[in-house]
Amino acid sequence: KILVIGACGQIGSELTSKLRETHGKNNVIASDINYNNLDVVNSGVFEIVDAQDYASVKICVEKHQIDTIYLMAAMLSATGEKYPMKAWDLNMNSLFHVLNLAKEGFIKSVFWPSSIAVFGPTTPKDNTPQYTVMEPTTVYGITKQVGERWCEYYNSKYGVDVRSIRYPGIISWKTLPGGGTTDYAVEIYHKAITDKNYECFLSENTELPMMFMDDAIEATVKLMQAPAENISIRSSYNLAAISFTPKDIYSAIKKHIPDFEISYNPDFRQQIADSWPKSIDDSEARKDWNWNHTFDMEKMTSEMITQLQKKYQSSEK
């Protein structure tokens, strides 16, 4: 059976529903530190698990005969800068507990998300290669870089089947993201519908690698279903879809909502965004497990606006 840790989060919540569709509802246990996403809590078996407490994770693994863990709990880039030691503790302790459960044979495989945040200001920013200089300047990026080192170490030293993807910024409508720098690209759609106005916390030409949630989920399932012999990278795979700036996404939205207006008021997250790449080379993932994205900016924008207009209309009733 599968355990999703951090199932109430932006990616965890959609990963849980996709895995339930793929593997059967009762074969996927959702868990999180609290009940703060009732859609997830009420959608199937849900357990409170503290990802920083080895016993808490182990008890859940044994109770439900878990063989695969998707560890989606983490503190993201912006919040991590406010609470560096909490970000280090959560992001690292949770990873060690899951890797050790695999090393001890309690579970068979692990998915752990890395991020383009592993790259820093000295990394080539255009078409960033799989192997390159990585000097992350955020706590979150540091935890992802060192987490990748540990994943590769546990695979080569102990044969642990851990697999990982460097997610770009992820855009979705079902669950709000929490504490990220790329979250502007989600907020902007909500504000376009509710206020027809958005004050963006990044400057208009800040280009970042992004991806629509459906593509990110598809890639995750593809990676985990690939035969082990096809996985040539056990640190973490670069993954890319589209790159855009706040100005690009504003223009795409304006085609659907003509009177939408934007203003720019960069805050501390501008420095984080400036340290990251503009675009990513993900040819390794496309070669090893035939990854291919399907959502471009237009398709993502019409899906986001259609779904959010439905969501706000139903909540108004």
Least gap, CB of 114 to ligand VAH (angstroms): 9
Which of 284, 283, 282, 281 has its CA nearest to residue 232?
284
> How far apart are the C-alpha atoms of 178 and 171, rounded to whole Å?
12
**Binding residue (CB under 6 A) for ligand VAH from 180, 184, 185, 201:** 180
Task: Check binding of 182 to ligand VAH (CB under 6 A).
Answer: yes
Q: Which stretch binds ligand VAH (CB under 6 A): 95-103, 123-131, 176-184, 228-236?
A: 176-184
Question: What DSSP state is assigned to residue 128?
Answer: B
Contact partners, residue 59, CB within 8 Å, separation at least 6: none
Specify the residue, 7 or 107, whose C-beta has the smaller distance to ligand VAH. 7
Number of residues that bind ligand VAH (CB under 6 A): 12
Q: Which stretch binds ligand VAH (CB under 6 A): 52-60, 118-126, 178-186, 254-262?
A: 178-186
Which of 141, 245, 242 has its CA nearest to residue 200?
245
Q: Which stretch binds ligand VAH (CB under 6 A): 31-39, 97-105, 179-187, 236-244?
A: 179-187
Task: Check binding of 117 to ligand VAH (CB under 6 A).
Answer: yes
Question: What DSSP state is assigned to residue 35?
Answer: -
Which of 108, 114, 164 has its CA nearest to residue 141?
114
Q: Which stretch binds ligand VAH (CB under 6 A): 24-32, 85-93, 111-119, 199-207?
A: 111-119
> How far apart are the C-alpha atoms of 230 and 253, rounded to whole Å?
39
Least gap, CB of 107 to ligand VAH (angstroms): 25
Provide the β-strand partners of residue 212: 171
**Binding residue (CB under 6 A) for ligand VAH from 40, 116, 142, 224:** 116
Reduced to 3 states (helix: H, G, I; strand: E, B; else coil), residue 110 is: strand
E-assigned strand segments in 156-300: 161-167, 169-171, 197-200, 208-212, 237-238, 242-244, 261-264
Question: What DSSP state is assigned to residue 91?
Answer: H
Angstrom CA distances, 111 to 118, 147, 157, 285, stand at 17, 12, 18, 15
Give residue for tokens 């074969």.
27
Answer yes or no: 140 catalytic.
yes
What is the β-pairing status of strands 161-167 and 2-5?
unpaired
Task: Check binding of 192 to ligand VAH (CB under 6 A).
Answer: no
Least gap, CB of 169 to ligand VAH (angstroms): 5
Q: What is the CA radius of gyration of the chain?
A: 19
Residue with nearest beta carbon to ligand VAH: 180
Q: Are 280 and 168 in contact (CB under 8 A)?
A: yes
Specify the residue, 13 or 181, whose C-beta has the smaller distance to ligand VAH. 181
Binding-site string for ligand VAH from residue 193 to residue 222, where x marks contact by CB under 6 A and - marks none = ------------------------------
Binding-site string for ligand VAH from residue 128 to residue 147, where x marks contact by CB under 6 A and - marks none = ------------x-------
Binding-site string for ligand VAH from residue 75 to residue 104, where x marks contact by CB under 6 A and - marks none = -xx---------------------------
Q: Are 203 and 264 in contact (CB under 8 A)?
A: yes
Q: Which position among 70, 140, 189, 198 bears the catalytic label? A: 140
Specify the residue, 91 or 115, whose C-beta has the smaller distance to ligand VAH. 115
Provide the β-strand partners of residue 269: none
**Binding residue (CB under 6 A) for ligand VAH from 12, 120, 147, 169:** 169
Task: Check binding of 172 to ligand VAH (CB under 6 A).
Answer: no
Q: Which residues are catalytic?
A: 140
Which residues of the chain form contacts with ligand VAH (CB under 6 A)? 76-77, 115-117, 140, 168-169, 177, 180-182
